[in-house]
Amino acid sequence: MTRLSLHRTLARKFRNTRVLRSGLTLTVIMAACLQGGCRTEQPWPLWDNYVKSAIDGQGRVIDHSAGDRTTSEGQAYAMFFALVANDRSHFDSILSWTETNLAGGDLTLRLPAWSWGKAPDGSWKVLDPNPAADSDLWIAYDLLEAGRLWRDPRFEKLGNVLATRIAQQEVVLVPGLGTTLLSGAVGFHPDDSTWILNPSYLPPFILAHLAKVQPTGPWATVLDSLDPMLSDGSAGGFAMDWVTAGNSGIRPGLSPMQRTAINKLDAPFQGKLDTTPIGSYDAIRVYLWLGLADPATPGLHNLLSRVNGMAAYLKDHVTPPQIVDSAGRIVDTNAPPGFSAAVVPYLTAVGLKTQARVQMDRLSATRDASSGLYGKNGSYYDQNLALFATGWSEQRFRFDKEGKLNPKWK
């Protein structure tokens, strides 16, 4: 929004109010909005409905489908959506709750714990102190871009500190793959020759932006590692949830022992996954991130070609698969509505605009009129995937080739 259009919007908003009659000038109001984030654009109904449904007054994002727990992922995504919505008040409260409850009160000292909720003794607290690398990246990115867009150096400095700590604790050198992002600081390097990786933890636009902001950091090489991770770790052109890398090369999925460990770390899948490598709830984000990225993002064309199985499948099917095995066979066709949302930007990126419209129609058909959310239960994960996809489709935000966020309000 230009200063002139902002001035006009504010003039309409505050005309004949006590604010102007009391002598507070429009110039002061405009300056405050440019600095602090007044919501002067058209409302974002899905974000507003999500706030009502899933975010409490303290800034905690509640996953009602998983025992009312909170994850660092949910906090990170909500900070991003608040930034896209120019919603400074929610951004601040979500950040404050995250720092206080997941990082022991200080994000400059530690990465946030990934899981917080109700313990067996009935208390509410951190359930697993291990950080999740994807959430950490998103929070660092949110802070860097909030600092730039809202002109708050404190956010930028905190984002830089967090990114540096991620580089120290969660970036590793894997033989045969190169420098990449470990899924978490603990538990994903079970022996000297094995590393457990998650391709959905590497959004290209975030890594491209960190490479620009911290040119001496590892971020450009981490982005480079995504190509072989998808090339050798995908199955029939479908991304996998987990990939094993090490001295024996890169392969889809995990060993039985590794699967047991991941089931313990990743509560939503606990007891539900066997040893068969699959692409499902994690992998769906690979398509989403690639679709959201600017076409000129380094390496993007090759990355899209590594997961062309999903595009080929959706040429002849209305619903994305919920589970795909390591041979590219569809195990479960009943994907939730969030999966349709996630593939809309991806299908657009590969030129399948008709198929993208089909998926958007399917998503829209699941909208609940009473809650304004998608799906029968308004599940946490569906809403997050839908917020990314519909926000992008409605042109509320874009990323440039260096990963810089361009929200509509700016």
Catalytic residues: 73, 134
Coil, strand or helix: which one is 38?
coil
Q: Name the residue with tokens 């593939």.
A: 343
Q: Tell me which amino acid residue 180 is.
A: T
Q: Tell me which amino acid residue 348 is.
A: T
Beta bridge partners of 195: 245
Nearest to 64 by CA among 379, 398, 284, 350: 379
Judge whether 356 and 348 are in contact, CB under 8 Å. Answer: yes
118-154 burial: b if 16+ Cβ within 10 Å, else e: eeeeeeeebbbbbbbbbbbbbbbbbbbbbbbbbebee
In order of 202, 254, 341, the CA distances from 390 in angstroms are 21, 33, 7
DSSP, res 112: P
In order of 55, 287, 371, the CA distances from 368 in angstroms are 19, 25, 6
Q: How far apart are CA 211 and CA 207, in angstroms?
A: 6
